[in-house]
Amino acid sequence: MLELCDISKRYGDTQALYPTSLIFPGERTKALLGTSGCGKSTLLRLIAGLIQPDSGSIRLNGEPLTTKNIQSIRQRMGYVIQEGGLFPHLSLSTNITLMARHLGWPSTKIEQRVAVLGKLTRLDLHFLERFPCQVSGGQRQRAALMRALFLDPDILLLDEPLGALDPIIRAELQAELYEIFSTLRKTVVLVTHDLGEAAFLADEIALLDAGRIVQQGKLEELVEFPATPFVTRFINSQRHPFERGLRKCEG
Amino acid sequence: MRGIGLIAALLLIASTVFAAPIQVGSKDFTESVILGEIVSGLARHQGYPVIHKKELGGSMIWLALLSGEIDIYPEYTGTLQREIFAGKSLPDDDAIRQELRLHGIMMTRPLGFNNSYAIAVRPDIDARLALTRISDLQRHPALRFGFSNAFMDRADGWPSLRQRYQLPQKSVRGMEHVLTYQALQQGNIDVVDAYTTDPHIAMYHLRILEDDRKHFPRYDGVLLYRQSLIEQAPMLVEALSQLEGRINDQHMLALNQQVEIEGYSETDVAARFLAETLGIKSKTQTSLSLAERVWQTTLEHLFLVITSLSAAIIVAVPLGIIAAKRPWAGHLIVGVAEVVQTIPGLALLVLLSVIFAPLNLPTIGPWPMITALFFYCLLPIIRNTLAGLNNVADNLRESAEVLGLPHLVRLRLIELPLASPLILAGIKTTAVINVGYAALGGLIGAGGYGQPIMTGLRLNSSALMLEGAIPAALMALAVKGLFAWLERRLVPRGLYLSQGHREDTGM
């Protein structure tokens, strides 16, 4: 379980995040949804310890995050960003096993783990000796996910993980991610601006706007009992283009 | 106790078996080199091993004698009076000799010639204006003067000459001495400084003007040597007296002429002098063929370049890393390196010799040159290391951080490999520039391609200059090629490919 208690962040004159409290229950996926600049990425970067909050505290399974223990806590975090963040000078397998080798895992254990995760993410193992620039975007994200999962972390942080993929691959990977989340049952924080993706992958959605959480709940709660007009506007902005297009064809 | 005795005995044996060679120095003009060769020949004849460090820059040679890097070199009494001991007003040779002794330096009696400065005029000007004395120049303010750089700077040179004779001329240019004669021939200048033993005076039919106000002192050729040489090479010191009074003005002029006009090597001219004057059959040093000479200068040049570059890489890459990690330190590091970079090459060499001399560090030879090159290499490597590390994309830096890798591991496994193309590019540029800069080594006897270039300049010989310049250009190209190859080997393959390069299995 991940608990955020009254954390806030300010960049110069911009309040990127107003004091916010949020709970990510164990074994559940929660999506941070919103337009760009709403504070969802700031929230994720705070959790990852890449930036320090101006106020408030973060706890992972009861243990508060500090600058001292962040290094060890990160070994319990998996992190995937748009385009994967794979190191271009290292092969996929080196990328994936980097941390395990740094920690001195025996090679048999590493091989076993690669095999397990390869099956889970459906990454063909013969891609592993290639460099990131030599495989497709989808394969890169599979490898990035393998890297994030390698140490079997307690919590998985995903920042627009499918943002750079074309729609068909994206839909395929969404289905795979859903399966993986259900299999592993980890605490997942998913940052996305895609309502459908959030609704499909997450157990619960937290919708942000201008540095504040506007509403939390399942998609149907947001649709039926929107907390503010913004919630409705946000939902409609993603629902209407498709429906409009459909109506035009039928009419 | 026995141990100490044994070591002392071994040292004694070693010192006799491996007798330190006598270090002969000479300045960067023909006459000095010939005299240096004569002394070398004499010493070899006495059975001493000799090293002749030729063509050392004017002010450095005196420092080198004081520090013991050379044991003996030819000097002029006038230079001692007016330059080296400028503030002391020493009236005569005895006074000079006394002053020298305070520094542990001995001086022979004059060798017999007076190579004074003289003011010379182009023959057609002389025919038109009928000049005979330097004071006659006062009446012709439009005359154009072209003086050697040394003469422009020296205390006994142009500044004091102008004052003594109240000369009104405005057009006064400083240039390399050999070029003054060319400029004279082309009619670009009318009046030059010359040495009285300079064979070009006769060759160009120049008119020497009488020093009617006795501005120039006597420049009697003498040999200066360290007191320690008396113990180190007593037979040589004794033999030096055979040279005293043996070379008069005409003789020295003839020797200079044989080298500068007739094209004999200084070694040959010196050997002939020793045979004819002192009846000494010098042990002929086999002169090297062109290929052998180029091979040797190439090795020397490579030594300068490789040593300085390696040291600079070892120092500059870590400095670049510190600069990237700590911006305030970065400003300081880059700032200091930039200041060093702006010091002109020759000035840096002189500065180093002034700093090195009191520390008992070498002021001539390869090491001060390597030090200067080292300083010049720092900035581009520091700057590119800094730029390379700053260029690492934020998302990669953060991915490495969230993985949980500690700082140093991130630097080693992620950031430095990603910065490697820029770091290598910096080293490549530095190496190519370094090959060119190292030619300055000719000025302080560091060897390398600068040596033939210097000699070529002195003798106005394009063949000799090309003997240094062409291999230097080829070496620069080879260095460039080498780094292009190293780039493929050292830049991680995935990065190389992701920059749009094709897979190249041939390498």
ipTM > 0.85 (yes/no):
yes
A 66-125 residues with CB below 8 A of B? 71-72, 74-75, 77, 79, 81-83, 85-91, 98-99, 102
pLDDT digits 0-9 by tens, A153-186: 999 999 988 887 888 888 888 988 898 888 888 8
pLDDT digits 0-9 by tens, B369-425: 999 999 999 999 999 999 999 999 988 998 998 888 888 999 999 999 999 999 999
| Residue among B403, B413, B494 minimizing CB distance to A133 | B494
The CATH code of the domain at A1-76+158-165+188-251 is: 3.40.50.300
**Chain B: closest CA distance from residue A62 (Å):** 20
% of chain B surpassing 70 pLDDT: 93
Give the C-alpha separation, A180 to A172, whole Å.
13
- pLDDT of B3 over the 80 cut: no
Q: pLDDT at position B155, please?
A: 76
Which chain B residues are closer than 8 Å to A75 by Cβ?
A: 404
* pLDDT, mean of residues B2-6: 54
- pLDDT of B33 over the 70 cut: yes
Backbone angles phi, psi at B121, to 5 degrees: -120, 145
Reported residue count of chain A is: 251
- pLDDT of A93 over the 80 cut: yes
- Amino acid code (one letter) for A30: K
Percentages (nearest 5) of helix, strand, coil residues in chain B? 65, 10, 25
Q: From edge to edge, which strands make up the β-sheet containing B207-209? A: B172-175, B145-148, B191-195, B117-121, B207-209
Least confident segment among A78-87, A136-145, B132-141, B477-486: A78-87
**B495 inside 8 A of chain A by CB:** yes
Least confident segment among A117-131, B161-175, B284-298, B444-458: B284-298
Give the C-alpha separation, A176 to A137, whole Å.
15
Q: Which domains, from first to last, does chain B contain?
A: 19-112+219-278 (3.40.190.10), 117-209 (3.40.190.120), 290-498 (1.10.3720.10)
Give the C-alpha separation, B483 to B432, whole Å.
10
Residue B17's pLDDT band, with cuts at 50, 70 and 90, is very low
Distances (CA, A) of A175 to A121, A170, A220: 11, 9, 20
Q: Is residue A176 classed exposed, middle or buried when 0-12, 13-18 and 19+ CB atoms within 10 A define those classes? A: middle
Arithmetic mean of pLDDT over chain B: 87
Q: pLDDT at position B284, please?
A: 57
- Amino acid code (one letter) for A208: L
* pLDDT, mean of residues B460-470: 88
Q: How far from chain centre, in Å, is Cα A37?
A: 16
- B220 DSSP assignment: B
pLDDT digits 0-9 by tens, B429-441: 999 999 999 998 8
Q: pLDDT at position B159, please?
A: 87
- pLDDT of B7 over the 70 cut: no
User: CA B377, B442, B40: angle at the middle one, nearest 5?
Assistant: 140
Which chain A residues are closer than 8 Å to B399 by Cβ?
A: 79, 81, 85-87
- pLDDT of A51 over the 60 cut: yes
Which of B294, B315, B299, B322 lies closest to B371 in space, CA to CA?
Answer: B315
Inter-chain CB proximity A88 and B403 less than 8 Å:
no
SS3 B395: helix
What is the residue whose two structure tokens read 């142009």? B158
The sign of the torsion formed by the CA atoms of A228, A231, A233, A234 equals positive
Give the C-alpha separation, A247 to A239, whole Å.
13
Nearest CA in chain A to B418: A89
Beta carbons within 10 angstroms of residue A164's beta carbon? 14
Identify the bridge partners of residue A191 per DSSP, sorted by sequence position: A32, A159
Domains of chain A, by residue range, sit at 1-76+158-165+188-251
Nearest CA in chain B to A71: B404
Residue B506's pLDDT band, with cuts at 50, 70 and 90, is very low
Query: Within a 13 Å sphere around the CA of B63, how many CA atoms are in the beta-carbon half?
Result: 23
Distances (CA, A) of B37 to B23, B30, B66: 12, 10, 21
Q: Is residue B49 classed exposed, middle or buried when 0-12, 13-18 and 19+ CB atoms within 10 A define those classes? A: exposed
